[in-house]
Structure 1
Amino acid sequence: MSKVTNVEKPLVFSYEEIEAATDCFKESKKLGQGAYGSVFHGILRNQEVAVKRMKATKAKEFMVEIQVLCKAHHFNLVELIGYASCGEELFLVYEFAENRSLSDRLHEPLSKGYTPLSWVTRVQIALDAARGLEYIHDHTKQHYLHRDIKSSNILLDGSFRAKIADFGLAKLIEQGEENGVLTRIVGTFGYLAPEYMRNGHATTKSDVYSFGVVLFELITGQEAISKSRLHIPSTPERRSLISVMLSALKDATPVSIGRLRDVADPTLDNTYPSECLHKVSVLGKQCVEEDPLLRPDMKQVVFTLSHVLFNSIEWEATLAGNSQVFSRIMQGR
C-alpha cells in the first residue's frame, strides 16, 4: 500500500467506516457486480458514496485506479474520494452516481421502472463521455488509454450528466509510445477493436472504437451483443450491434434515413431530428472503422457531437409549442 503516498492524496478510511457506511455490505445496498468486485451504496462522513469492494488478488487494478484518478480530475470522470484496506479486501470510495450506469438506464428501461432517455439527453451523455475520454487521451500530464469503454462504465449523476468510471484496466502511454502499446488483451467482448483482438496492439483509437459501439447503443437502446429485435434479416443467434448498424446505414442519407428509423430505440417514439440521428450514426460508423487510421480522434468526436447537441436542442425548442410532445421530452431529460 506504500505506493499510494506517491500520488495526490485521497482520503484513507478505516474498515469500520466502510462497514458502517454500507450496513455491513447489506444486499439491498448493492449497486452492481463486475469482474473486479461488487459496488455498494453508502453514507460516509455525511456524503453519499459508492464503495467498490475488491479481493486483494485485484491489487494491481486497485492501484491503477488510485494512480489514474488521483492525477486526472475532470467533470466527466468519476471522482475518487478515498480508499481502505483490510486483510484480504480492498475498497475504493467514489462519488455516488444517482442515476446509475448508462447501461442500466438504456437497456429495457421500462421493465426497470425508468423513464426512457430523450434524444437530447442521449446526445448530451455521448458528448460528456467523449469529453472525459478526450481528457485522458490528450490533456492529462500523463496520457492514458482506458481499455474498457462501455455503457456500464459510464455513470450518470442526478442531472443525467455522464462520467467515465472503472479505470482498473487503464494503461499509461509512456513517452515514445504514442503509436500504441502491446498489452495482454483485456476489456469486454463486443467493444474490442479488431487490431487489439488480433495482437494486443492498444492505442487511443482502440478506445475510439469502443466509444463508437456506445454511440450505437445510445441510438438503438440495444446491448453491444444481443438478439436482434428489429425489421432486418437476422438469425436467432446473438449478433453484433455493429453489424446491425452498418447494415442499416447502407441506404441512409441525411434526407432519407431509411432503415435507421427501424433500428432506432422504440422508446424514443420517433421523437428525434432525423438529420441528427444520421450524423450520430455516421460518427459511430467512423469510430468503428476496421482501419484505426481512418477513425477520428476524440477531439474530432467532441467537435461533431457538440454541433449535433446544439442542433438537437434547437430542434427540441421548435417542439415546445406542442405541449404533449414537449412534456414527453422533458420527462426523459
Structure 2
Amino acid sequence: MEAVDIAGSSNIATKSFTLKELTNATRNFGDDCFIGKGGGSGRVYKGQLDEQVVAIKQVEPNDKKKFLVEGIMLSLLHHPNIVDLIGYCADGDHHRLLVYKYMPLGSLKDYLHDVSPGKKQLDWETRTKISLEAAKGLEYLHDKSQPPVIHRNINCSNILLDEGYQAKLSGFSLAKLGSIGGKTHVSMKLEGTIGYIAPEYVRTGELSLKSDIYSFGVVLLEIFTGKRAIENSTDGEECNLVEWANPLIKDEKFSEMADPMLQGHYPAKGLEQALIIAQMCVHEQPTNRPAIAEVVAFLTHIASGKYDSESQDVQNST
C-alpha cells in the first residue's frame, strides 16, 4: 500500500489500495458486509484493513467524474466535521472504490426516518449537537476553504455519525468550487436530492453558497420536526417540508411542529429559535438567507442551553 497522488498533484496525497486488498477486506463484497447505498450512487461495504475498520464505496463505472471529484475534494479537506477519506482504488475502467473511516452510528437519516427497532431515539441535546457540528463542517467548506466549496448535496443521508454522535459531512461527489473574483454564483447542470435543492438553482441553474444554506435549512427542519423533506401523504400527494413548515412558523405554532419522538422533552424557546433559523435558511430569496457563520452562531447559542425562564422542558411544564 503506497502513498500516491490522485490526480498528479503533489498536494493531493492519499493511499492507493489494490482491488485484491479491498476484496479481501469485505469478504469478496459479501452481503454480510453490505451497509447501504452511498450518497448519490454506489454500494457501501464495511471492511477490515489491518487493524482499521473502514467503509468502502463502490463508484459506478459511468461515474468516473464523481469518483475524481470526491477523491480530490476529500484529499484536500480536513476538518473534524468532514468525513475522513483514507484512500481509493482505481483498477481499470470498472473498479473504482473510495475508502473512508467507518462511521459506526450510520447516518442521520437512520435516526430520523429509517429507525430500526431498538435504535436509540435522538434527544434534544443530541439533535442540537448534530445540527451545530454539521453547520461547522459547512462553515469550513464555505469560509475556511480557498476557494470556497459548494457541497451541492447536503441532506440527512450525507450527515454521518461517529462515536458520540459526532456529525461529519459526506457525499462530496457533486461538490463544486465556488465563485471567486466577485462573482456571486456559478452555473451548473441541476443535480442534487429532491426536496433539498434551492428554488433558484432549480429555476436558473445558478448555484451559490446560499444554495447549500437552503439545503441545510431543510435538514434543520427534519432534525426538529422528524418529517422527511418530501412526504407521501395518504392520498398519494407529495408534501414538501418547507411548504408545510412556513405557515406554521409564521403563526408561531412551534409545539405542533416538534418531532413526536421527543415526547415533549425539549425547551420551548430552543425549539422556537431552531425553527426560526431553519426558516431563515430556506428563504425563497438567496440574498435573505444567513451566511453559514451566522447559522453556527445561532446554533451555538441553542446548543448552550442558556434560555430564559420560559424555556423549561415542555413535558415538565404541563
Distance in 1 (alpha carbons) for counterparts of 2:306 and 2:275? 14
Secondary structure of 2:165's aligned partner: coil
Shift of the alpha carbon at 1:314? Answer: 10
Residue 7 of structure 2 is aligned with which of 4, 15, 18? 4
Distance in 1 (alpha carbons) for counterparts of 2:19 and 2:72? 21
Is the 2:61–2:96 Cα contact (8 Å) retained in structure 1?
Answer: yes
Distance in 1 (alpha carbons) for counterparts of 2:258 and 2:85? 35
Distance in 2 (alpha carbons) for counterparts of 1:154 and 1:4? 26
Task: List alignment gaps of at least 5 residues for structure 2.
Answer: none
Task: Tell me which residue corresponds to 1:248.
Answer: 248
Shift of the alpha carbon at 1:77? Answer: 0.2
Distance 1:238 1:40, change over 3 A: same
1:117-153 deviation digits (Å, cap 9, x = unpaired): 0011001101001000010111013311000000000
1:245-268 deviation digits (Å, cap 9, x = unpaired): 11221221xxxxx3x222211110
Task: Tell me which residue corresponds to 1:239.
Answer: 239
Task: Tell me which residue corresponds to 2:285.
Answer: 291
Is the 2:29–2:45 Cα contact (8 Å) retained in structure 1?
Answer: yes
1:251-295 deviation digits (Å, cap 9, x = unpaired): 21xxxxx3x222211110000000000000000000000110000
Distance 1:178 1:46, change over 3 A: farther
Shift of the alpha carbon at 1:9? Answer: 0.8
Distance 1:42 1:249, change over 3 A: same
User: Once structures 1 and 2 are overlaid, which stretch shifts more, 174-183 or 192-201?
Assistant: 174-183
Shift of the alpha carbon at 1:66? Answer: 1.4
What are the residue-to-residue correspondences of 1:88-167 with 2, within 5 Å? 88-109=94-115, 111-167=116-172
Distance in 1 (alpha carbons) for counterparts of 2:74 and 2:140? 12
1:98-125 deviation digits (Å, cap 9, x = unpaired): 110000111152x443111001100110
Distance in 1 (alpha carbons) for counterparts of 2:236 and 2:250? 22
Shift of the alpha carbon at 1:42? Answer: 0.8
Secondary structure of 2:284's aligned partner: coil
Distance in 2 (alpha carbons) for counterparts of 1:131 and 1:10? 24
1:53 aligned partner, one-letter code: Q
Distance 1:23 1:310, change over 3 A: same
Task: List alignment gaps of at least 5 residues for structure 1.
Answer: 230-234, 253-257, 326-333
Residue 182 of structure 1 is aligned with which of 181, 187, 211? 187
What are the residue-to-residue correspondences of 1:60-79 with 2, within 5 Å? 60-79=65-84
Distance in 1 (alpha carbons) for counterparts of 2:247 and 2:162? 34
Task: Tell me which residue corresponds to 1:310.
Answer: 304
Task: Tell me which residue corresponds to 1:196.
Answer: 201
Shift of the alpha carbon at 1:27? Answer: 1.2
Is the 2:269–2:307 Cα contact (8 Å) retained in structure 1?
Answer: no
1:143-170 deviation digits (Å, cap 9, x = unpaired): 1100000000000001101000010000
Is the 2:86–2:101 Cα contact (8 Å) retained in structure 1?
Answer: yes
Is the 1:147–1:171 Cα contact (8 Å) retained in structure 2?
Answer: yes
Secondary structure of 2:136's aligned partner: helix
Secondary structure of 1:91's aligned partner: strand
Provide the identity percentage: 39
